Amino acid sequence: MKKLVLIDGHSILNRAFYGVPELSNSQGLHTNAIYGFLNIMFKILDEEAADYIAVAFDLSAPTFRHKEYAEYKGTRKSMPDELREQVPLIKDVLSSMNIPILTKEGYEADDIIGTIAKRYQSDEVFVSVISGDRDLLQLSDKHIKIRIPKTSKGVTTIHDYLPEDVMDEYGVTPKEFIDVKALMGDTSDNVPGVPSIGEKTATKIIQEYHSIENAIEHVDELKPPRASKALSEHIEDAKFSKMLVTIVTDAPIETDISDMEVGNLYTKESLEWINKLEFKSFLKRYENVETEASIELDTSVIDKQDAWESLYTKLKEAKEFGISVCLEETAVKSYHENSLYAISVTLENKSYIIKDMENISDILEEIIRLDARKYILSLKPLIKLVKDMKAAKNFYDISVAAYLINPLKDSYFVEDIARDYMESACSSKSEMIGKAKLDEVLRFNDEKAINYFATESYVALHSEENILAKLKDLELTELYENVEMPLIYSLAKMENTGVRVDEERLKKYADTLLEKIAKLEESITRKAGESFNINSPKQLGEILFEKLKLSGGKKTKTGYSTAADVLEKLAPEHEIIRDILEYRQLTKLNSTYATGLAGYIREDGRIHGTFNQTITATGRISSTDPNLQNIPVRTEMGSKIRDIFVPKEGYVFVDADYSQIELRVLASLSGDEKLIESYRSAADIHAATAAQVFHVPLDEVTPELRRNAKAVNFGVVYGISAFGLSEDLSISRKEALDYINNYFKIYGGVKKFLDKQVADAKEKGYVKTMFGRIRPIPEIKSSNFMTRSFGDRVAMNSPIQGSAADIMKISMLKVDEALEKSGFDARIVLQIHDELLVEVKEDEAAKVSELVEKAMKEAVSLKVPLEVDAHIGKTWLEAK
C-alpha cells in the first residue's frame, strides 16, 4: 500500500511559529516557523516512509466558500511580520526539495487537501493529512488519517485521528463533526454558530439527529428548550455556519499523483537553504550530498626535517599566512607539559600539516617569530604553548574579530566564519571527524582529519580581508587592535598561571558540609513523614503542596515552583522549609564547589580554568571549566569556600575591585550633572540617591530609604521597569512607578540618556559602549510586547554593562603591563568582572597593592573618578 502525505502549509507554519521560541539567522532573518515546519515534516516523512507528498497553501484572494463575505475574512487577525517574512521562504525551501506546492484561486488550503485526499484515497493509497486545524477532522475516513502535531515543552507529539478516534473524542462521526462545529460556532474563525449552543449541546443534538438539516426539521422537539428556541431563531446562521465549516472535496484542481512522488529531498539547492537559514541540526541529513561551494584544498603533510626547512624558507618570505594548532586531547598530563601535536599552515592556496615531528615545539617557536601577518581562528590555545609570549607578533584572531562584529552568535567555528565571511560552505569538525579527537585521527593521516585541520588555517587566511574590512566599517578596529587582541595574551597568562587551592582544607570543608547535609536530610525526612529526593523539584513540590498542603501559589510550566523566593514566603507555615532552604544551600556548595572544584585541581596543585572572550553579549569575559567567576561570597557558609583559594608558599593575594563601576559609568555616559556631583562629593552613593529622590537631608536617610534607593539604582542599570522594581522591593507597582518618576525628575540627564539608547537601538538595531563595542538588539523591532520590552531594557543596560567590561579589559592590560615593567614577582590569577585577584611575593605585597590600585583607577578617564578597594590577605576570603 502506498502512502500520500498532505500538509496544510499555513496551519503547520503557524503552529511552528508559536511553538518554537524565537530563532533567527545571523542576517537577522526570523527562522523559527520554518525550523518548526521542517522538523514536523521530517519527523512525519521519517516515520511514514511516504511515497507521495504535497503541501497546500491558501492564496490571499477571497475564497469560494467565503467570497460573498470577503470583508469578513479581512477581519481576521493579521499575521505578525516575523511570521509573514517566513511564508515565501518555506515555499522556496519546499521547492528546493522538489515538494509540490498546491494552491488554487478561490479555494483554501483545506479545500485543496479535502479534494486531493478524497480523490486519491483507496485500498491502494493511504492518505495522511497533517494540520493543526481540528476542522479537518471531518475529512477522516477509512483511508484518511488526520494527524495533528502538538508541540509542548519543545517536544512534538502527533495525535492521529481515524474515524473511530473522532468518535471516541467527540462522540460523532467525521461527517457529523461538521454539524457540531457549525452549531457551536468558532469565534477565532468567525463562524457565528447558534448563540447559547456550545459544544455539549451541539454534540447532543447531532448525536440524536445526525445533521443540522434534520435537527431543523425537528426543531420543536429539541432539548433543552433553550436550544430549541435558539436554533429556530437562527436557522440561517446555522446553515451559513455549516457552509463555512464544510470543506470542499470536489474543487476543480488538476493534479497527477505522480507529480507528488517523493524524490530526493536532500538536494544541493535545499542544502544551500539549510545553510542559509543556519539549521545546523538538519545538516546531518545531508551527509552524502556533494557540496559544490565547499572549499577546495590542496594539502600536504610535513613530517620530515628537510620538508619543514623548505617550508620554513617560504614562510620567511611570506607576507601573510593562516595557522592553526592541534593539541593532544587525550593524555592529561601535568599542566605545563607541552601537548602540541600538529600545526596547520595555509600559504596562499596551499595548506601544510606539520606533524609527527620531535621538535614541533621548536617549529612553533620559529613560526610565531616570523614577520608575516598571521591569521588564526583562535589564538589563545596557541599562545599558551609558547615560552615567551611577547615574541609572538603580528597575530590576528579571527573569532575575536567576528565576535566584535556580532557578539550574539553562539559559535565562531570554522563553518561559521566560512559561511558569514567567505560565502562558502565548509563542514564542521563533527561533520568531518564525528566524535573523534582531532589528534587521534590525524595520527593515522585520516583524509578527512587532514582536510578539516587544513580548513582551519585556510579559512583563517581567506576570511581575513572581509572580516577586517567589516571591523573597520563598524569602527571596531581600535577596540580590536588595542584591547581585544592584547587581552588574549593576558588571559592566556592567567590561564597558564591558574590559582592554587588548598586541597586538604577543601576536603575538610566538604566533610563539614556532608555532615550537616546528612543531619538536614534526616530532619526533612522526619518532618515530611517519608523519604524522598529533596533535590527533585517535582517530588519536593508534591510533598510540600500536596502532602503538607502548604499554600502553593506560583507554578512553573511543569509543576509547582520550589524556588528559594517562593519557599522563603512559606517559611512561617512549616518548619520543614528552613531545613529545605539550608539543605539546598549546602548541597549546592558541596556539588558545585567542594566536590566540583576538587576535580579540577591539576598536578601543580592549581586550577587552570578557561576565560572565554567570545561568549557574552555585552563584552564581558566568561569563565568555564570551572566557572571561577561565581565562587560564593554572599552567605557566611558559602564564603568559606574562598578560604581554600590560596597563593603559593611565600606569596599573598592582593584583591582589588572597582566600587560601583556601573553607576559611575552611567554618570559619565549620561553626563548628568547631579549624578556626577554626587560622585564627586558623596561617600555613599545609595544614601545620596535616597536623599535626592526622597527629599530628605543626607543625615536623615534611614537604612530603609537607602535600601530603596539602592534598588532604584540597580533598576536603572538593568533597564528600569516599574514591575521589576516593585517585585524586588515588594511594593505596589504604583509606588515603584513613583520612585522611578522621582528619580528621573532629579536625574533628568540619566532619563535622557536611557531614552536615547532605546531610540538609537530602534533606529540602528544596535547600541554601542564608550569604546565603540556593538551590541545588536534584534528584539527591539519585535511585534511581541514582551520581546520588545526586553529589547528596550537591553538597550539601556548594554552600554552600561559593556562600558564597564571595556574598562576592566583595559585595566587588566594596564595592570599586566605595570606589573611586568616594575619587575615585581606578581601576576593576575582571576578576573571577576569588576575585581582582580593578584598573587604576589609576600614582601612586595604593599607596593603591588598600590600599583594595581593605581593602574585600575587610571585605566581610563571618566567624568567621575573611579574608585578601587584593594586588600591584602593570605586567602581570597581574607583579601576581599
Task: Find the binding residues for DNA in span 597-626 (CB under 7 A).
Answer: 599, 612, 615-618, 620, 622-626
Q: Does 670 bind DNA (CB under 7 A)?
A: no
C-alpha cell at 519: 543531619
Q: Does 72 bind DNA (CB under 7 A)?
A: no
Tell me the closest approach of the beta carbon of residue 704 to DNA, in angstroms. Answer: 15
Binder among 536, 702, 732, 741 for DNA (CB under 7 A): 536
Q: Does 429 bind DNA (CB under 7 A)?
A: no
Rounded CA gap, 506 and 593, in Å?
9
Q: φ and ψ at 841, to 5 degrees?
A: -55, 135
Q: Does 562 bind DNA (CB under 7 A)?
A: yes
- Residue range at the interface with DNA (CB under 7 A); choices 1-9, 305-313, 691-699, 717-725: 717-725
Binding residues with DNA: total (CB under 7 A): 78
Q: Does 773 bind DNA (CB under 7 A)?
A: no
Binder among 186, 521, 684, 728 for DNA (CB under 7 A): 728
Task: Find the binding residues for DNA in span 623-642 (CB under 7 A).
Answer: 623-627, 629-635, 638-639
Q: φ and ψ at 855, to 5 degrees?
A: -60, -40
Nearer to DNA, 50 or 491 (CB): 491
Binder among 172, 576, 794, 810 for DNA (CB under 7 A): 794
- Residue range at the interface with DNA (CB under 7 A); choices 415-423, 503-511, 712-720, 817-825: 712-720
Single-letter amino acid, residue 512: T
H helices of 529-659, in order, are 537-541, 564-570, 576-588, 596-598, 636-639
Instruction: Tell me how far apart the 2 most distant CA atoms of the chain are, in Å.
Output: 105
The site map against DNA for 730-769 (x = CB under 7 A) is ----------------------------------------
Tell me the closest approach of the beta carbon of residue 734 to DNA, in angstroms. Answer: 13
Helical (H) or strand (E) element with 345? strand 340-347
Q: Kindly tell me the sign of the dihedral angle through the C-alpha atoms of 332, 333, 334, 337.
A: negative
- Residue range at the interface with DNA (CB under 7 A); choices 35-43, 142-150, 580-588, 697-705: 580-588
Residues in contact with 594: Cβ distance below 8 Å, sequence separation at least 6, in sequence order: 506, 509, 510, 513, 641
Tell me the closest approach of the beta carbon of residue 579 to DNA, in angstroms. Answer: 13
Rounded CA gap, 380 and 387, in Å?
13
Tell me the closest approach of the beta carbon of residue 508 to DNA, in angstroms. Answer: 19
> Under DSSP, is residue 301 helix (H, G, I), strand (E, B) or coil?
strand
Binder among 592, 674, 781, 872 for DNA (CB under 7 A): 592
Binder among 104, 234, 384, 584 for DNA (CB under 7 A): 584
Closest by Cα among 834, 771, 407 to 619: 407
> Under DSSP, is residue 321 helix (H, G, I), strand (E, B) or coil?
strand
Q: Does 96 bind DNA (CB under 7 A)?
A: no
Beta bridge partners of 30: 24
- For the CA atoms of the chain, what is the radius of gyration? 33
Binder among 143, 793, 814, 857 for DNA (CB under 7 A): 793
Binder among 786, 821, 823, 861 for DNA (CB under 7 A): 786
Beta-strand pair 155-161/340-347: unpaired
Binder among 115, 351, 561, 811 for DNA (CB under 7 A): 561
Task: Find the binding residues for DNA in span 146-205 (CB under 7 A).
Answer: 153-155
Rounded CA gap, 701 and 692, in Å?
10
Nearer to DNA, 427 or 590 (CB): 590
Separation in Å, CA 219 to CA 173, 233, 390: 21, 10, 94
Tell me the closest approach of the beta carbon of residue 657 to DNA, in angstroms. Answer: 7
Q: φ and ψ at 798, to 5 degrees?
A: -60, -45
Nearer to DNA, 211 or 610 (CB): 610
Tell me the closest approach of the beta carbon of residue 743 to DNA, in angstroms. Answer: 11
Nearer to DNA, 317 or 625 (CB): 625
Q: Does 772 bind DNA (CB under 7 A)?
A: no
Q: Does 803 bind DNA (CB under 7 A)?
A: no
Binder among 556, 659, 741, 822 for DNA (CB under 7 A): 556
Q: φ and ψ at 830, to 5 degrees?
A: -145, 150
> Under DSSP, is residue 232 helix (H, G, I), strand (E, B) or coil?
helix
Q: Does 725 bind DNA (CB under 7 A)?
A: yes
Q: Is 549 exposed, middle or buried (0-12, 13-18, 19+ CB in 10 A)?
A: exposed
- Residue range at the interface with DNA (CB under 7 A); choices 95-103, 118-126, 345-353, 724-732: 724-732
Helical (H) or strand (E) element with 723? helix 722-729
Binder among 365, 569, 790, 842 for DNA (CB under 7 A): 790
Closest by Cα among 794, 708, 813 to 754: 794
Nearer to DNA, 97 or 501 (CB): 501
Contact, 241 vs 191, CB < 8 A?
Answer: yes
Closest by Cα among 262, 286, 257 to 272: 286
Closest by Cα among 525, 565, 533, 569 to 551: 569
- Residue range at the interface with DNA (CB under 7 A); choices 88-96, 252-260, 374-382, 832-840: 832-840
Tally of CB atoms within 10 A around 839: 22
Binder among 344, 721, 782, 811 for DNA (CB under 7 A): 721
C-alpha cell at 469: 574590512
Separation in Å, CA 54 to CA 131, 263, 273, 652, 725: 13, 12, 19, 72, 52
The terminus-to-terminus CA distance of the chain in angstroms comes to 75
Nearer to DNA, 386 or 517 (CB): 517
Rounded CA gap, 297 and 295, in Å?
6
Tell me the closest approach of the beta carbon of residue 552 to DNA, in angstroms. Answer: 11
Q: Does 531 bind DNA (CB under 7 A)?
A: no
Tell me the closest approach of the beta carbon of residue 733 to DNA, in angstroms. Answer: 8
Residues in contact with 35: Cβ distance below 8 Å, sequence separation at least 6, in sequence order: 16, 20, 23, 277, 279
Rounded CA gap, 76 and 61, in Å?
13
Tell me the closest approach of the beta carbon of residue 435 to DNA, in angstroms. Answer: 11
Rounded CA gap, 156 and 199, in Å?
27
Nearer to DNA, 460 or 720 (CB): 720
Q: Does 533 bind DNA (CB under 7 A)?
A: yes
Binder among 70, 391, 564, 846 for DNA (CB under 7 A): 564
Task: Find the binding residues for DNA in span 343-402 (CB under 7 A).
Answer: none
Q: Does 563 bind DNA (CB under 7 A)?
A: yes
Nearer to DNA, 471 or 736 (CB): 736
785-822 and 485-497 helices, crossing angle to 10°? 70
Nearer to DNA, 255 or 622 (CB): 622
Q: Does 264 bind DNA (CB under 7 A)?
A: no
Q: Does 338 bind DNA (CB under 7 A)?
A: no
Rounded CA gap, 385 and 363, in Å?
12
C-alpha cell at 584: 539546598
Nearer to DNA, 185 or 791 (CB): 791
∠ CA 801-802-807, nearest 5°, is 100
Tell me the closest approach of the beta carbon of residue 493 to DNA, in angstroms. Answer: 20
Nearer to DNA, 216 or 731 (CB): 731
C-alpha cell at 224: 433543552
Task: Find the binding residues for DNA in span 28-47 (CB under 7 A).
Answer: none
87-96 and 32-48 helices, crossing angle to 10°? 40
- Residue range at the interface with DNA (CB under 7 A); choices 206-214, 238-246, 501-509, 829-837: 829-837
Binder among 145, 380, 419, 833 for DNA (CB under 7 A): 833
Q: Does 462 bind DNA (CB under 7 A)?
A: no
- Residue range at the interface with DNA (CB under 7 A); choices 119-127, 393-401, 499-507, 595-603: 595-603
